[in-house]
């Protein structure tokens, strides 16, 4: 098996006796050797021994990632609230969970090289983020409040970074600002009651009005409590604005919406339509692009749509379009 086929799991995230029963591998000198086979418990003694040997990660096979993601989803909130785990460990868990989620985001085989690059960019982004305690704690708030909001934010961020690197020349620092703003774009949702956030039926008019306050509330909080700059803050505040003025909260249009927010707006819509909560695709990328371009005519910048199309659409599904 190739190195990239194994997925790292932070030792602190492998809870003795509670972690799913999967084979765990050790990386030694570039090779992967079986540490624990399926069927044997991972004990406290294992955890202690590995930690005292300064082993930071064990590795799992990609076939086991579904069950591990389920486990992380069920436990990440408890991990982040735990007082026994240090901030560094929590940062490492966020980092690793994030990487797991972007691994299989992009299914276009022509884009494999790109997804490696994006993976590295997100790694940079999270490393950068881990140096800023106040911003990192806001990301922890998002994860602990609603795991799906976090996964969605991560998907939007990965896609947004891809679009920026496909269509625009961005300096590294600006890319980091765009990444952090996009990662926290839905921060305002942490102020929404669960009844609204998790409602499966139609929202009432009152609930819709409450929901639509999340960009402004997120913006106000982050402006007050973090060092995010204007590029990042604009993304939080304007990620539901549309190029033709049909968005919210202010209904501003075109040039008044900074580019980072325009890209986030398109990526947010695209990810909501095409990626289900359980990771299943709910609408094909081509159909979604068709809707964005024709049924929502003018809502999104054409250059962004072109870049999005080149990233997410495969040639062979062209015939699926509802012409
Ligand atoms: Fe949003």
Centre of ligand 1 from the C-alpha of residue 103, in Å: 23
Burial label for 289, CB within 10 Å (0-12, 13-18, 19+), is buried
> Structure pTM?
0.73
Q: Ligand 1 centroid to 185 CA: how many Å? A: 6
Distance 48 CA to ligand 1 centre (A): 42
Using one digit for the tens of pLDDT, what is the confidence trace for 93-108? 666 666 666 555 554 4
Residue 206 Cα, ligand 1 centroid: separation in angstroms? 17
Q: Which of 23-37, 38-52, 110-124, 182-196 is the least confident region?
A: 110-124
Confidence (pLDDT) at 167: 86
Question: What's the gap in Å between 6 CA and the centre of ligand 1?
Answer: 33
Whose tokens are 């993976």? That residue is 119
Distance 210 CA to ligand 1 centre (A): 12
Confidence of residue 62 (pLDDT cuts 50, 70, 90): confident
**How many Å lie between the centroid of ligand 1 and the Cα of residue 188?**
8
Report the alpha-carbon distance of residue 225 to residue 217 in Å, rounded. Answer: 12
Distance between CA 243 and CA 306 in Å, rounded?
15
Give the Å distance between the CA of 219 and the centre of ligand 1: 11
CA-to-CA dists, residue 57 to 20, 34, 92, 217, angstroms:
16, 13, 10, 38
User: What would the DSSP string read from start to end of 204-272?
Assistant: PHHHHHHHTTHHHHHHHHHHHHS---HHHHHHHHHTT--TTS--SSS---GGGS-HHHHHHHHHHHHHH
Q: What letter would DSSP give residue 59?
A: E
pLDDT band at 41 (very low <50, low <70, confident <90, very high): confident
289 CA distance to ligand 1 middle (Å): 19
d(CA 278, CA 257) in angstroms, rounded, equals 32
C-alpha to C-alpha distance for 143 and 126, rounded to whole angstroms: 14
Instruction: Please tell me the distance between residue 239's alpha carbon and the centre of ligand 1 in angstroms.
Output: 6
Query: Between 159 and 224, whose confidence is greater?
Result: 224
- Cα of 189 vs centre of ligand 1, distance in Å, is 7
Residue-wise pLDDT for 99-154, tens only, equals 666 555 554 445 555 556 666 677 777 777 767 778 878 887 887 777 788 888 88
Q: Identify whether the C-beta of residue 192 lies closer than 8 Å to the C-beta of residue 210.
A: yes
Share of the chain above pLDDT 90, in %: 37
What domains are there in the chain, each with its CATH number? 88-312 (1.10.3210.10)
């Amino acid at each position: 098996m190739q190195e990239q086929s194994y997925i790292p799991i932070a030792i602190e995230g492998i809870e003795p006796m509670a972690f799913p029963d999967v084979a765990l591998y050790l990386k030694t000198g570039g090779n992967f050797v079986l540490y624990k086979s399926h069927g044997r418990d991972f004990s406290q003694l294992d955890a202690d021994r590995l930690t005292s040997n300064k082993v930071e990660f064990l590795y799992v096979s990609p076939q086991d990632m579904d069950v591990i993601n389920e486990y992380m989803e069920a436990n990440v909130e408890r991990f982040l609230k735990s007082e026994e785990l240090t901030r560094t460990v929590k940062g490492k868990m966020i980092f690793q969970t994030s990487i797991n989620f972007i691994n299989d985001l992009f299914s276009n085989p022509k884009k494999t090289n790109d997804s490696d690059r994006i993976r590295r960019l997100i790694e940079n982004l999270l490393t950068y983020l881990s140096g800023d305690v106040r911003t990192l704690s806001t990301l922890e708030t998002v994860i602990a409040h609603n795991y799906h909001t976090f996964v969605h934010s991560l998907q939007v961020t990965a896609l947004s970074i891809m679009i920026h690197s496909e269509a625009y020349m961005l300096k590294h620092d600006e890319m980091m600002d765009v990444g952090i703003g996009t990662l926290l774009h839905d921060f305002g949702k942490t102020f929404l009651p669960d009844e609204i956030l998790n409602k499966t039926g139609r929202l009432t008019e009152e609930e819709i009005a409450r929901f639509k306050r999340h960009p402004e509330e997120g913006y106000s909080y982050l402006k007050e409590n973090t060092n995010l700059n204007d590029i990042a803050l604009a993304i939080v505040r304007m990620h539901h604005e549309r190029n033709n003025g049909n968005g919210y909260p202010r209904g501003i249009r075109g040039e008044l919406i900074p580019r980072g927010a325009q890209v986030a707006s398109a990526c947010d819509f695209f990810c909501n339509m095409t990626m289900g909560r359980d990771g299943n695709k709910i609408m094909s990328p081509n159909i979604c692009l068709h809707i964005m371009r024709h049924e929502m005519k003018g809502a999104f910048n054409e250059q962004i749509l072109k870049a999005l199309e080149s990233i997410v659409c495969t040639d062979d599904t062209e015939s699926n379009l509802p012409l």
